A and B are shown apart, each in its own frame.
Chain A
Amino acid sequence: MPELGKYATEVLSAYGITLLLMLALLVQTLRRGAKARAALRQAEQETARHGKN
Chain B
Amino acid sequence: MSLWKYANPVKFLALSARVQPFAWAAAALGILIGLGWGFFGTPDDFRQGSTIKIIYIHVPAAWIAINAWIMMLIASLIWLVRRHHVSALAAKAAAPVGLVMTVIGLVTGAVWGQPMWGTWWAWDPRLTSFLILFLFYLGYIALWEAVEDPDTAADLTSVLCLVGSVFALMSRYAVLFWSQGLHQGATLSLDKEENISDVFWQPLVLSIAGFTLLFLALVLYRTGTEIALRRTRALNVRLDKAV
Q: Contact residue range for chain A? A: 35 or more
Q: Which of A1-53 contact B (CB under 8 A)?
A: 2-8, 10-11, 13-15, 17-18, 21-22, 24-26, 28-30, 32-33, 36-37, 39-40, 43-44, 46-47, 50-51, 53
Is B147 located at the chain interface by the 8 A CB criterion? no
The residue that A10 contacts in the complex, of B115, B221, B241, B243, with Cβ under 8 A, is B115
Q: Which of B57, B221, B229, B239 contacts A18 (CB 8 A)?
A: B57
- Are A2's CB and B50's CB within 8 A? yes
Contacts of A39 in B (CB 8 A): 228-229, 232
Count A-B pairs with CB separation below 8 Å.
106
26 contacts between A and B (CB under 8 A): A2-B50, A3-B50, A4-B50, A7-B115, A10-B51, A10-B112, A10-B114, A10-B115, A11-B50, A11-B51, A14-B57, A14-B107, A14-B112, A15-B57, A17-B108, A17-B111, A22-B104, A29-B225, A33-B224, A40-B228, A40-B232, A40-B235, A43-B231, A43-B232, A43-B239, A50-B242
Chain A residues engaging chain B, CB cutoff 8 angstroms = 2-8, 10-11, 13-15, 17-18, 21-22, 24-26, 28-30, 32-33, 36-37, 39-40, 43-44, 46-47, 50-51, 53
